[in-house]
Structure 1
């Protein structure tokens, strides 16, 4: 019938999920989403984005995304780079140099360059633009060093090359080129294994787990994290703080992985991470690459609560956490996005807008390139009360939201 109302994308997802015999939890796990995300898409409290639809489609038996969005929606499946620097980073990653000559940079110099790059990532308000300028040269220098050095210097160069690839993964994670992200993960792990350095291998496992989780392979992610913990734990007593830092990071990654699968066991891993930080790391310690610290443990508690769909717990966990204490501009911006997600779970539109505006003021690129932030802003433009809708539209224009 011409006047019959078409089902919403959320209703289409629910219908196809039930037809496939999948629970929300199972579809979420297969798609790399949280059960709360699937629930809110189905009941209309969250938009179905193209990226999320692409993650769900294979598990719903969908070949044409029009089956999810409806026949009236035109879709372009062209992969579009969302940051201009991705082109240069891709060239650096795929410049397979057959011959390498000349003198390599010293390992001391390269260590300083890698640490400085991570410092820039965490202190710049425009960290993706800054990293995009640094990464091509950093990747080239560490690749050359790994080819030209020998002995102990080559092992050190390989460790630094792995860390350069980890920074490339952090930069690329939100820009839609999944194959390029897999390349950075594989390269980082290969370099760490060639270095035969347990700490480097554990770091590479941490980055591998994040990507596995994002594509719905949470069980594999948790196994990689367990393997890495077995490498690290025997060395905690005699090693420096970087070993305890790594162990805490592995537990935090496991906690978030479990939370995104709807597993309350996430809190056990989170408690283990907190215990390591409080027992084995000095007061005021802040990790170079991932900013492991006491405030970061509290940031993860908020993230886990949001992923578990518990805004009351997220609010409780965030109550005593001063955002200014988070030792990373990028992580501080993401913390405000997580708080916005918590408010969004409760349907608090004004609070969601306020928190996203704070996130954008803290780290504009964290909001501009975060898919979940973009989705929230897009929905606010349609659903926020009239009194603040103009503010939502202004924010959308500042961060480049096109679906208004």
Structure 2
């Protein structure tokens, strides 16, 4: 009697990471070479291939030309639906867009004083760093702040106009911070370009260095890390000679520039990131008071340690990230927004070690600290998606609940 015929098993589709690895091998590229061509770190390519990191649309777009891929479906496979509008949007984006593109052809009346505008701009940054719902609150005040600083830059004259231009640049930087995770890409470019133009017209070294710092973040995020490092070096050359005899804000700015360079190097897999980080730490400890906290970017001793954790995670070294974070009490981080992001970085570090429960616990702490950081952070959303779909059953239900609360659609 013939044995019953067993149904044929359906062939298993390769994962996006396996597809990347196969195409890389077929083209004869090493991971290091592919990473360099695509402006990614070798660690990122490794983790994409072995499934420890999801293949994002942006990474796929950077990798595709060097793998001979013209259709991104060849990387993601037939079972994956791609959305070109995958980034969540914030309700206030349209109001901010109108403020950014409302060109005042004629301007009349009395401008707000620069003292008033400085207070309003500073209040905007304080809100950004102290509110649990910083994007909602800043999104509400940004249109009025942009309008007031734009008018002042047109109506004031002489030194008051230059001061108004420096404050206008800061308004654009705050708009960039707001738009970075949920605004249309062209709006982010617009804030960077407008902020740089206003800083140049202000003829103020600090304003120009700030503008370069913000521009470097955009350059890094679009795969132009080398350009970002060059511009940051130019800004340091502008600021460093003024540190010894200038106000404390020059030392703050110099430390910020080194920290930005360190993170940029880390995200391209460059171990030289630690040299820049050490330089930033030296400036903060040598030239700033022990309890100093910068207004806009929160430069401080705790923030330097936050950057060390970020660098270690981006360099793919979870052991170093854990070591660096061991002595850092999150409560000392002088920004609710940065504290939330720190928990996300720790969650990424735990994820690199396959610790699903720890990753979810840390994402939950990030959500409790700053819900909008989890809702809009690409790294948090990517990690939540994977935990909700791939984590062990003991973790998955809680991950799904947090994902739904954060507006991550599975």
Q: TM-score, normalised by structure 2?
A: 0.94
- The CA deviation string for residues 78-131 of structure 1, in whole angstroms up to 9 with x for no partner, is 476521111111111111121111111000000000000000000000111111
Aligned to 1:266: 273
Aligned residue number for residue 353 of structure 2: 346
User: Whose Rg is larger?
Assistant: 2
Once the two structures are TM-superposed, the CA of residue 176 in structure 1 deviates from its matched residue by 5.2
The answer for the alignment partner of 2:256 in structure 1 is 249
Aligned pairs for 1:3-14 (under 5 A) are 3-14=10-21
8 Å contact 2:333–2:339 — kept in the other structure? yes
Alignment of 1:246-395 (within 5 A): 246-395=253-402
Whole-Å separation in 1 of the counterparts to 2:202 and 2:26: 49
What residue is the counterpart of 1:104 in the other structure?
A: 111
Partner of residue 117, structure 1: 124
The answer for the alignment partner of 1:232 in structure 2 is 239
Q: Is the 8 A contact 1:25 1:262 kept in 2?
A: no
Partners of 1:334 and 1:20 in 2: how far apart? 37
Give yes or no for contact 1:336–1:356 (8 Å, CA) kept in 2: yes
Q: Distance in 2 between matches of 1:23 and 1:113?
A: 52
Deviations 1:321-343 (A, max 9, x none): 00000000000000000000100
Query: RMSD of the TM alignment (CA)?
Result: 1.7
1:149 aligns to 2:173 (yes or no): no
Say if 2:205 is the partner of 1:198.
Answer: yes
Aligned length in residues: 403
Tell whether the 8 Å contact from 2:258 to 2:279 is kept in structure 1 after alignment: yes
Q: Is the contact made by 1:367 and 1:399 (CA closer than 8 Å) also made in structure 2?
A: yes
Q: Distance in 1 between matches of 2:27 and 2:216?
A: 28
Contact 1:55–1:215 (CA under 8 A) maintained in structure 2: no
Q: Which residue of structure 1 aligns with residue 89 of structure 2?
A: 82
In structure 2, the CA distance between the partners of 1:139 and 1:84, relative to structure 1 (3 Å rule), is same
* Aligned-pair CA distance for 1:47: 1.9
User: After alignment, is 88-97 or 352-361 more displaced?
Assistant: 88-97
1:254-276 CA distances to partner (integer Å, 9 max, x unpaired)?
A: 11111111111111111100110
The question of 1:169 aligning with 2:212 is answered no
Deviation at 1:19, TM superposition (A): 4.5
Residue 398 (structure 1) aligned with residue 405 (structure 2): yes
Stretch deviating more after TM superposition (381-390 or 197-206): 381-390
**Unaligned stretches of 5+ residues in structure 2:** 1-7
Deviation digits for residues 355-386 of structure 1 (CA, Å, limit 9, x no counterpart): 00000000000011011111111111122222
CA distance in 2, matches of 1:14, 1:220: 28
**Distance in 2 between residues matched to 1:304 and 1:207, nearest whole Å:** 18
Q: Equivalent residue for 1:134?
A: 141
Change (3 A) 1:186 1:58: farther
Residues 29 and 90 of structure 1, relative CA distance in 2, 3 Å threshold: farther
Task: Report the counterpart of residue 91 of structure 1 in structure 2.
Answer: 98
Further displaced range: 31-40 or 119-128: 31-40
Scaled by the length of structure 1, the TM-score of the pair is: 0.96
Distance 2:87 2:305 in 1: 35
C-alpha distance 308-78 of structure 1, shift in aligned 2 (>3 A): closer
Aligned partner of 2:5 in structure 1 is none
Q: How far apart in 2 are the matches of 1:96 and 1:30? A: 40
Alignment CA distance shift 1:308-1:296 (3 Å)? same
CA contact under 8 A between 2:308 and 2:324: conserved in structure 1? yes
Question: CA shift at 1:134, angstroms?
Answer: 1.1
Asked whether the equivalents of residues 35 and 260 of structure 1 are also in contact (C-alpha less than 8 Å), the reply is no
Conservation of the 8 A alpha-carbon contact between 1:79 and 1:176? no
Q: Which residue of 1 aligns with 2:46?
A: 39
* Cα distance in structure 2, aligned partners of 1:284 and 1:72: 53
Q: Choose 280-289 or 14-23, whichever is displaced more.
A: 14-23
